[in-house]
Structure 1
């Protein structure tokens, strides 16, 4: 009887299957728990709560929060989570480092669970972040608190293969993404359905709603359903009616927990600003870092080129602290690696742009230094929020030029308590000569310095507050000299700069930029198909790039007058004088070619010419060899060659040719067999002959030895008969071993010895009758021996 069946206790009852009964009981219990959870959420008012355990949460979310060590609620979480659990739209504003991430992740998990969301239902929640680093941080927190749920979540940002994301996107319930990458998927991913999205979350909403992301966000919202819940969170929340109308918010609850606070920044943050002339900025920064080698510092700059220039120069000056740099032009893998290194470091300095200004949680940052002033007070608040997080202490320092001192009043008006400080004369240090030496030795570093200068001027020209940031009042010549340049590069076209257009281009996704470029290129080709640009090897030589971090800057700076300007505008152009006059017309020089079997290769560059000198590269170009055999006449043939079909048919049918071939081969084998047998017979004869010769030689040697033995006579010492050898007979007698008893089949030992001696001496044995006593006796014995 199977164990899953229980016998009836009474007669007439049916057997009960325990497994099905257990499933029914479990479904009933889950339904009761689900109904109880709905009731708790509906009746929950959220007053007086301090811990996550007091919220009406599912067992899965509560277990995930407990394992991730989240216990106490912050102010924004205590006010925003109850409203979001009830399905209300929320506008959350709180200081940096106050826990806004959990304030929207917990409602996302709870709402989808109460809607009984499964993998088959598709995408249910869309969380949008302005930067890749912040999106990755949100995704890590989501994995920690949602580990007990059965939802599938994914991170969709730039810097990865689009195809890999497309295959997994259809199975995701929760997506954390950046605006540009999500719009790219909406345009290129086939079958992506967003009609059933239940929640839309915008982290750092004011940044996403900025004009840089405006069109991208509008395109995303057009693909989302109107009946959805929307959550907006930021340290500086927007209240613009136009922005809120674009998102389709309905009766949104505005939650600003720190609106009544005396400061817009964390209480444990000490903030200072210093009036520094523009030419002294790098000197002051170098001196500051030399005096804070045991600290963890984040230095903000206005552009990627400045970050790279300061990083490359300070790295060669051996400042004494670990240096890192992070900006938006780096590859995604490098950005992730640098973020992890800085988070794990105890003493380090990170040069960065505003790409890390929002939301990123770097542990134990001691100082936030702003080498360049931010564009507004909101950006300042986000920058200094990288330190003094979660009610910890921290310090911030802002460098302002003398013409920018009014920016401190703007900060004071936004409830930012900031104090003015000065630099000690004993701490001042100049690195101008060192920078000039570095730029003189490394031309690429010099071009990077020029680009850093131009990008700084560009950033000042596009600032919103034109009353404070005035480019014409800055000492640009002295600033160029202070960073190691011999003079200020020529700058033009600043008046025609459109701030909105620049931000739109800067924040547009790279994939869409490429698509737009291709489409515009195709349209242009229709107009000028007949005019094809002639490119010479000298053009390719000038445009050639080496794999170097500074090469792009060099390529953008070194342009001819007819070349197209780079995407940053025509701010700096270095003209190559004497280019056409010193070099002869390339059309008059005949091109070099290399002939290899089967084709002819055009050598149009020195790189290709050098490459073709390598044996390995030449072997790749040559055709693969074929194995050949040679006939009796010396002609080369392939091992296997196909016979002509007509000739084959003329020779007869396949069966006839097969029999003919077998007969011929049989005759050849028999002839070869006869020859082999004759050869084997001759070898045997030679072997026997050699054996007979060896035997004859051995017999001759034996006879010679016997003749020599016959002529040889063995002498027996005279003292041996008496057993006395040179007067030592007594000792020999004592050492002599007792004789072994002779067997019946053995001969007498003495007879045997005598027989052996006779054989050796040819039968002649001479013995002395008496022991010689004098010389006469010895002479007589000798004469007898001579015979």
Structure 2
């Protein structure tokens, strides 16, 4: 025992000595790293080995395969290691993620941060996918460190996150869920925060998180170090930098190999002028001819992504198709993100949720079916390909009305883009197939209508009204291209068309005087006033030809499609609430509230068939006062019509005679009627009784013949056959026969034994 005690003490002494030596070595390493960081010149290093980094960070970088520095990393990391705030700007795909993750690990390591110290670094990302990507890179390069790291992105159990949040040293989060934890999670303390990172700050502001971000900053200490990175430096980003950064180092990296362009030199960029009704045809043909490529397709709204994904799954373009948009649940979005990352050949339809920061490996083509809302969005979209030193290509679809305005914006930021044209022989039309799918599947048709409305809404919300005009869109042809039998009427389209006509009326005619302009304007206003609500086609446009599908949809006995089609296409003054973010087809406005005014309108104001039918309906006529109060007509035995709810006043009742006399007369009338009914009922009961007796004798005779004896069944059975045990019969000539045959069978009272059971009992006795 004494020897064991001495051995234990020796072991403890060696352990303490080892720990002391380790602390001494760590202190020496940290001191050397601090001196090297102070002397390091930003931009001078070419590899990570040349930077003053700890051995643990070097090992993590080497295991993850990161060896060479990018320009933004070489410039930003040395400043961050000195403890300075950094405002970084670099094009997408330039390696900004490592530019802030390496300083986060190094700062916490040099300050000897441990699990007991709480939250030391906070990284805020605009989207869930980007946050997951940042967290995955952090796990790779920080594997040798002992820090605890967490991911908070929403879509998961809040209680589960709260239990683990207090033990995190590094936290990667989206703004909404982070603010929720700051407000609600007890014990989540950020008072000792060392580093704050705002990644894709311009995107955070564009997505409407400005107020959320300001609220987050109020929870954080002012003595922290802040790193703010963004692909574009807008005025709002600079305002945010002034509020959150203290004397920052501004790091802006421009790729010299790109010849001062905003996009990488290895990116080939093309655009194609495509009419609105040929966009899906061209996209499908493009996918069919690039089945061995990895393609990322951008559309403007979630509903369009949903519809194109469902439709192309049915069309089978020859490569796997996926969809990524903001209306998917978190688990679904994560699975799609991972599946597309691992795929070699696939097409991903996505909204701008995938345009910022996401690093999909080996993307060959970025196809923008809908034009971006700005040059910055275009740069972010094409940045999903040609990342780092890889090659890539992009293709932009432009409407003829969008070509001039969009190209002017791109040329303004030095984007080199070349026009190409599609070979008409290779463009396959899919409109008939989509129409067939929509006719067979009501849900797909409804989704096509949502996609139509959401696209029109996205064009309406564009700031550049000269380039993106709803009134210039060929909506009828676009609806046919989606497989719809008609274009849904949208209020904003009518307003845009009226505004365009009014503007055209105000514009002076070439070579004309003021008086002619005024007269033309007044005539246009008069024509607008007389224009029918149900026929807003220009005069030069040919009338729409009704097909067999239109006639079929118009039938009232179609319980699924006709009513929905009528609401979407035949509604005369229908409109949609565009304040909803979903772009849903929402509640349709009622047409023709004032039936009196409409029915008495002059002949110049033509009413639609639907409005006329509404005006002739009982409900509408009752509301208009044509028949007074709601009533129901019934007919008595003599065929005279009378009101079911007919009421007499007291004076009319007394004119018919004395009350006692009326009561006596009514009682006498009812007694006579009941006496007649009793005679009929007794006669019917007598006939039924006789028929039952006849059937009983017939059964006895048949059973006796079957057994070779003339003995009655009652004697053979040892009992008496009760006539009442036979079922009720319907006699010929009964007034109730038709009613009993037509009515469904009703449950009857349980009897002692059915006729079949009595016959079986008799045969059993005979056998004995």
Band the TM-score falls in, shorter-chain normalisation: 0.5 to 0.7
Counterpart for residue 202 of structure 2: 206
Residue 223 (1) aligns with residue 219 (2): yes
The structural deviation recorded for 1:274 is 0.6
CA distance in 2, matches of 1:455, 1:217: 29
CA distance in 2, matches of 1:448, 1:15: 73
- Written as runs of structure 1 = structure 2, the 5 A alignment for 1:127-206 is 127-206=123-202
Counterpart for residue 471 of structure 1: 470
The structural deviation recorded for 1:37 is 2.2
Cα distance change on mapping 1:193 and 1:33 into 2, 3 Å: same
Counterpart for residue 346 of structure 1: 344
Cα distance change on mapping 1:225 and 1:256 into 2, 3 Å: same
CA distance in 1, matches of 2:167, 2:85: 26
The structural deviation recorded for 1:65 is 0.9
Does structure 2 retain, via aligned residues, the 8 Å contact 1:287–1:429? yes
Counterpart for residue 245 of structure 2: 249
CA distance in 1, matches of 2:58, 2:152: 27
CA distance in 1, matches of 2:145, 2:5: 30
The structural deviation recorded for 1:417 is 0.5
Counterpart for residue 603 of structure 1: none
The structural deviation recorded for 1:4 is 8.6
The structural deviation recorded for 1:5 is 5.6
CA distance in 2, matches of 1:557, 1:160: 37
Counterpart for residue 319 of structure 1: 317
CA distance in 2, matches of 1:171, 1:380: 40
Cα distance change on mapping 1:115 and 1:570 into 2, 3 Å: same
Counterpart for residue 92 of structure 1: 88
List runs of 5+ in structure 1 lacking aligned partners: 8-13, 498-552, 584-787
Residue 78 (1) aligns with residue 74 (2): yes
Counterpart for residue 428 of structure 2: 429
CA distance in 1, matches of 2:453, 2:209: 25
Does structure 1 retain, via aligned residues, the 8 Å contact 2:135–2:172? yes
- Give deviations 1:117-151, integer Å, cap 9, x for gaps: 11122111111111111100000000001111111
Counterpart for residue 328 of structure 2: 330
- Give deviations 1:297-320, integer Å, cap 9, x for gaps: 111000000001111111111222
Does structure 2 retain, via aligned residues, the 8 Å contact 1:104–1:201? yes
Does structure 1 retain, via aligned residues, the 8 Å contact 2:457–2:578? no
CA distance in 2, matches of 1:146, 1:104: 13
Pick from 549, 570, 580 the counterpart of residue 567 of structure 1: 580
- Give deviations 1:384-420, integer Å, cap 9, x for gaps: 1111111111110000101101201211111111011
Residue 45 (1) aligns with residue 41 (2): yes
CA distance in 2, matches of 1:582, 1:147: 77
CA distance in 1, matches of 2:99, 2:160: 30
- Written as runs of structure 1 = structure 2, the 5 A alignment for 1:753-764 is none
Cα distance change on mapping 1:384 and 1:77 into 2, 3 Å: same
Cα distance change on mapping 1:294 and 1:28 into 2, 3 Å: closer
Pick from 55, 58, 63 the counterpart of residue 62 of structure 1: 58
Does structure 2 retain, via aligned residues, the 8 Å contact 1:274–1:421? yes
Provide the secondary structure at the position in 1 that maps to 2:367: strand
Provide the secondary structure at the position in 1 that maps to 2:135: helix
- Written as runs of structure 1 = structure 2, the 5 A alignment for 1:622-641 is none
Counterpart for residue 274 of structure 2: 276
Counterpart for residue 16 of structure 2: 20
Does structure 2 retain, via aligned residues, the 8 Å contact 1:5–1:17? no
Provide the secondary structure at the position in 2 that maps to 1:391: coil
- Give deviations 1:723-772, integer Å, cap 9, x for gaps: xxxxxxxxxxxxxxxxxxxxxxxxxxxxxxxxxxxxxxxxxxxxxxxxxx
Does structure 1 retain, via aligned residues, the 8 Å contact 2:491–2:576? no
The structural deviation recorded for 1:269 is 0.6
Provide the secondary structure at the position in 2 that maps to 1:233: strand
Provide the secondary structure at the position in 1 that maps to 2:104: helix
Cα distance change on mapping 1:168 and 1:241 into 2, 3 Å: closer
Provide the secondary structure at the position in 2 that maps to 1:403: coil
Cα distance change on mapping 1:332 and 1:211 into 2, 3 Å: closer
Cα distance change on mapping 1:19 and 1:300 into 2, 3 Å: closer
Number of aligned residue pairs: 527
Does structure 2 retain, via aligned residues, the 8 Å contact 1:129–1:208? yes
Does structure 2 retain, via aligned residues, the 8 Å contact 1:273–1:400? yes
Indicate the RMSD between aligned Cα atoms, in angstroms: 3.4
Cα distance change on mapping 1:51 and 1:570 into 2, 3 Å: closer
The structural deviation recorded for 1:272 is 0.4
CA distance in 2, matches of 1:111, 1:27: 17
Does structure 1 retain, via aligned residues, the 8 Å contact 2:490–2:574? no
The structural deviation recorded for 1:496 is 10
Cα distance change on mapping 1:3 and 1:243 into 2, 3 Å: farther
CA distance in 1, matches of 2:427, 2:6: 88
Cα distance change on mapping 1:242 and 1:82 into 2, 3 Å: closer
CA distance in 2, matches of 1:192, 1:6: 44
Cα distance change on mapping 1:37 and 1:400 into 2, 3 Å: same
TM-score, normalising length from structure 1? 0.62
- Give deviations 1:519-569, integer Å, cap 9, x for gaps: xxxxxxxxxxxxxxxxxxxxxxxxxxxxxxxxxx99x98999999998347
List runs of 5+ in structure 2 lacking aligned partners: 497-563, 591-609, 620-768
Provide the secondary structure at the position in 2 that maps to 1:196: coil
- Give deviations 1:563-589, integer Å, cap 9, x for gaps: 999834786645799999899xxxxxx
Cα distance change on mapping 1:397 and 1:225 into 2, 3 Å: same
CA distance in 1, matches of 2:42, 2:113: 25
TM-score, normalising length from structure 2? 0.64
